[in-house]
Structure 1
Amino acid sequence: MIDLAELIEEHGVVGAQLAVLTDGEIADVAAGELNAGTRAPVTTDSLFQIASITKVWTATLVQELANEGRLDLDRPARDILPDFRPVITPRQLLTHTSGIDGDLFHDTGSGDDAVERFVARLADAPQISPPGELWSYCNSGFTVLGRIVEVLRGKPFNTVLKERLAVPLGLTVATTYAEGAAVHAAVGHVDGQPVTDPGPESDWPAGSALAMSARDLLAFARMHLATPAFAIMREPQVSLPDFGYRSRWGLGWELHDYSGGLVVGHNGGNKGLSAYLRVAPERGVAIALVASGGRAQAVFDDVVANLFSELAGVRRAALPVPPADPEPVDVERVTGTYRCAGHEVVVTQAGHGRVLVRLDGDEREFVRLRDDALIAVEKPHTVLVLMNGLLHFGRAAVRI
Structure 2
Amino acid sequence: MDPDRLHRVLAELAARHQVPGAQLAVLHGGDRFLVHTGVADTATGAPVEADTAFPAGSLTKPFGAALAMILVADGDVDLDDPLDGPLPEFGAGCLVTLRQLLSHTAGLPSDVPEGTAGTGDRARWVARHCRTEDLAHPPGTVFSYSNVGYVVVGRLVEAVTGMTWQEAVGAVLLEPLGIRPAFVAGPERTGRPVAAGHAVQAARGRVLSVAEQDLPEVELPNGGLALSAADLVSFARRYFAGCPDPAPLDRATADDMCFDQLSSIAVGPYGMADGWGLGWARYDDGAADVYGHDGTGDGTHCSLRFDPSNGSAVALTANANTGARLWADLAPRLRELGLPVGDRPEPGAPAGPIPAPAGCLGRYANGDTVFEVTRAAGGGLLLGFGGAPRAELLCDPGLRFVMRELGSGTCSPGRFVADPLTERIDYLQITGRLAARTGDDSGPA
What TM-score results when the alignment is normalised by the length of structure 2?
0.81
Aligned-residue offset at 1:8: 0.6
Rounded Cα–Cα distance in structure 2 between residues aligned with 1:186 and 1:180: 13
Rounded Cα–Cα distance in structure 1 between residues aligned with 2:193 and 2:41: 9
In the other structure, the counterpart of 1:384 is: 414
2:107·2:135 contact (CA, 8 Å) conserved in 1?
yes
1:260·1:313 contact (CA, 8 Å) conserved in 2?
no
* CA 108–181 in structure 1, closer or farther in 2 if over 3 Å, else same: farther
Question: Residue deviations 1:208-250, cap 9 Å, x none?
Answer: x211211112111112322322111111111664736861001
Question: Residue deviations 1:305-358, cap 9 Å, x none?
Answer: 11255333576456654432343114x612223333463423221255421223
2:273·2:282 contact (CA, 8 Å) conserved in 1?
no
2:362 counterpart letter in structure 1: G
253-262 vs 179-188, greater mean Cα deviation: 179-188
1:328·1:353 contact (CA, 8 Å) conserved in 2?
no
134-143 vs 67-76, greater mean Cα deviation: 67-76
* CA 13–362 in structure 1, closer or farther in 2 if over 3 Å, else same: farther
How much is the aligned-residue C-alpha RMSD, in angstroms? 2.5
1:212-361 to structure 2, matched below 5 A, reads 212-225=227-240, 226=243, 227=246, 228-229=251-252, 230-238=254-262, 241=268, 243=270, 247-308=274-335, 310-312=337-339, 316-317=343-344, 320-330=347-357, 333-341=359-367, 343-351=369-377, 353-359=379-385
* CA 7–323 in structure 1, closer or farther in 2 if over 3 Å, else same: closer
* CA 316–199 in structure 1, closer or farther in 2 if over 3 Å, else same: closer
88-97 vs 238-247, greater mean Cα deviation: 238-247
1:156 to 157, 164, 185: 164
101-110 vs 45-54, greater mean Cα deviation: 101-110
In the other structure, the counterpart of 1:40 is: 46
Rounded Cα–Cα distance in structure 2 between residues aligned with 1:56 and 1:180: 20
2:20 to 7, 14, 36: 14
Rounded Cα–Cα distance in structure 2 between residues aligned with 1:305 and 1:367: 25
The alignment status of 1:119 with 2:134, answered yes or no, reads no
Rounded Cα–Cα distance in structure 2 between residues aligned with 1:255 and 1:309: 21
1:333 counterpart letter in structure 2: G
Structure 1 portions without partners, runs of 5+: none
Rounded Cα–Cα distance in structure 2 between residues aligned with 1:29 and 1:238: 36
Q: What is the aligned length?
A: 395
Aligned-residue offset at 1:36: 1.8
The alignment status of 1:189 with 2:227, answered yes or no, reads no
279-288 vs 335-344, greater mean Cα deviation: 335-344
Percent identity among equivalent residues?
Answer: 33
In the other structure, the counterpart of 1:77 is: 83
* CA 196–258 in structure 1, closer or farther in 2 if over 3 Å, else same: same
* CA 181–7 in structure 1, closer or farther in 2 if over 3 Å, else same: farther
Question: Residue deviations 1:230-277, cap 9 Å, x none?
Answer: 111111111664736861001100001211211000001111111100
* CA 142–315 in structure 1, closer or farther in 2 if over 3 Å, else same: closer
In the other structure, the counterpart of 1:52 is: 58
Question: Residue deviations 1:66-105, cap 9 Å, x none?
Answer: 2222221111111211121112111110111111112015
* CA 245–321 in structure 1, closer or farther in 2 if over 3 Å, else same: farther
What TM-score results when the alignment is normalised by the length of structure 1?
0.90
67-76 vs 332-341, greater mean Cα deviation: 332-341
Structure 1 counterpart SS, 2:13? helix
Rounded Cα–Cα distance in structure 1 between residues aligned with 2:379 and 2:371: 19
1:274·1:292 contact (CA, 8 Å) conserved in 2?
yes
1:18 counterpart letter in structure 2: L
Question: Residue deviations 1:182-209, cap 9 Å, x none?
Answer: 43411211232122352413222111x2
Rounded Cα–Cα distance in structure 2 between residues aligned with 1:293 and 1:313: 24
198-207 vs 48-57, greater mean Cα deviation: 198-207
1:374 to 360, 378, 401: 401
Question: Residue deviations 1:284-319, cap 9 Å, x none?
Answer: 111111111142122112322112553335764566
1:84-95 to structure 2, matched below 5 A, reads 84-86=90-92, 87-95=95-103
1:245·1:257 contact (CA, 8 Å) conserved in 2?
no
* CA 157–24 in structure 1, closer or farther in 2 if over 3 Å, else same: farther
Question: Residue deviations 1:359-398, cap 9 Å, x none?
Answer: 5656332222133222236854322222353211121223
The alignment status of 1:206 with 2:222, answered yes or no, reads yes
